[in-house]
Amino acid sequence: MSTGNALVIAAALSIAISQPAPAGERLTGTWLTEDGSTHVTFKSCGDMDCGQIVWLREPIDPETGKAWQDKLNPDASLRQQPLVGLTMITGLMENSPNTWTGTLYNPLDGKSYTGHFLMLSAAKLELKGCTLAGLICQTETWVRVK
């Protein structure tokens, strides 16, 4: 392949990736977290959408030699449930085109946060998780898994 062809292909790919998401697009599909550790699939869960952990880069807890469990869940009866299959995002509602709000459960600390999602493009999603009525927030970008 010539350098010219490679540049044209690279330019076409960057344009396709940077295109804004069409208004009204649903938050569905599988997304890779910013640190590359987790795949989350968004799907319909009754009247609202939710997000479920479907893959972990490191599926085995080195402490136990078994699949990671939700060991920090505030509900002791749920601490044995595996992380793969865990619904970590609930109550997703679209606020305006390409923006959603819901509740994020973080199994790394056992706490829930208000989550805001903004679809930047068909391939990029910005997640902002907040606590203390929005005073403390953390933002990261997720990419769609093909």
DSSP the chain: --HHHHHHHHHHHHHHHHSPPPTT----EEEE-TTSSEEEEEEEETTEEEEEEEEESS-EETTTTEE-B-TT-SSGGGTTSBSTT-EEEEEEEEEETTEEEEEEEETTTTEEEEEEEEE-SSSEEEEEEEETTTTEEEEEEEEE--
> Tell me, what's the pLDDT at 95?
92
| pTM to 2 decimal places | 0.80
35 Cβ contact list (under 8 Å, min separation 6): 140
Q: Which residues of 68-84 are buried (b: 16+ CB within 10 A; e: fewer)?
A: bbbeebeeeeeeeeebe
> Tell me, what's the pLDDT at 47?
87
> Tell me, what's the pLDDT at 129?
85
> Tell me, what's the pLDDT at 137?
86
Fold of 3-144: Lipocalin (2.40.128)
Domain extents in the chain = 3-144
Closest by CA to 19, choosing from 119, 88, 122, 130, is 122
> Tell me, what's the pLDDT at 16?
33
> Tell me, what's the pLDDT at 15?
31
Residue given tokens 């997304």 in the structure block: 31
Counting as low any pLDDT under 50, the low residues of the chain are 1-21
Residue given tokens 């069409």 in the structure block: 22
For the chain, the C-alpha Rg in angstroms (whole number) is 17
